[in-house]
Amino acid sequence: MTDRERTFVMVKPDAFARGLVGTVISRLEDRGLKLVGMKVEVLDEETAHEHYAEHTDKPFFDDLVDFITSGPVVPMVWEGEDATRQVRQMIGATDPLEADAGTIRGDYALDLGRNVVHAADHEDEGANEREISIHFDDDDLVSYEGHDETWLYE
Ligand code: IDP
């Protein structure tokens, strides 16, 4: 197996309020990815700024922070082969209008500012490490052998 890695994913407040937490988890589980960390929290403003630091200068930044702090979110860490790219493919384009049907955003979202789920960007090399460390301590994450790994990986 090559490139088994951990990637950061977060169910956003819109999806939490709409009862889509289980759906997002099921999509990732069904693909074969392994859940190694998860919690429910309401982000404070400081954490939201840190999480979206790359967007500080964007015109939508204040609305984004207001939204992401507006209700519970579910930060998670998922593990698997090429997990970052696999998850980005599964969530679809940032704008749901551009997201293919069959992706999470393409199936469950309509609006750019309410697009259900966040996932670390596979084109940003340090994204996973940075985002995981914002939301989790090392001992919040577990390591285990999945019983199905023989059937998921060659
Ligand atoms: P990503 O979530 O697909 O990685 P990013 O470009 O990192 O996309 O943007 C972070 C979030 O900011 C997006 O998921 C979306 O909710 C919001 N966003 C991005 N671009 C815009 C915009 O032009 N207007 C309003 N909100 C935006």
Express as a percent the part of the chain with pLDDT over 90: 97
> Model-level pTM?
0.97
Is 49 one of the annotated active-site residues of the chain?
no
Mean pLDDT along residues 38-51: 98
Domain coordinates in residue numbering, the chain: 5-147
24 alpha carbon, distance to own chain's centre:
9
CATH 3.10.180.10 fits 5-147, yes or no: no
Nearest CA to ligand 1 atom 4: 121
- Residues framing ligand 1 (Cβ under 6 A): 60, 64, 94, 112-113, 115, 118, 121
Q: Are 51 and 67 in contact (CB under 8 A)?
A: no
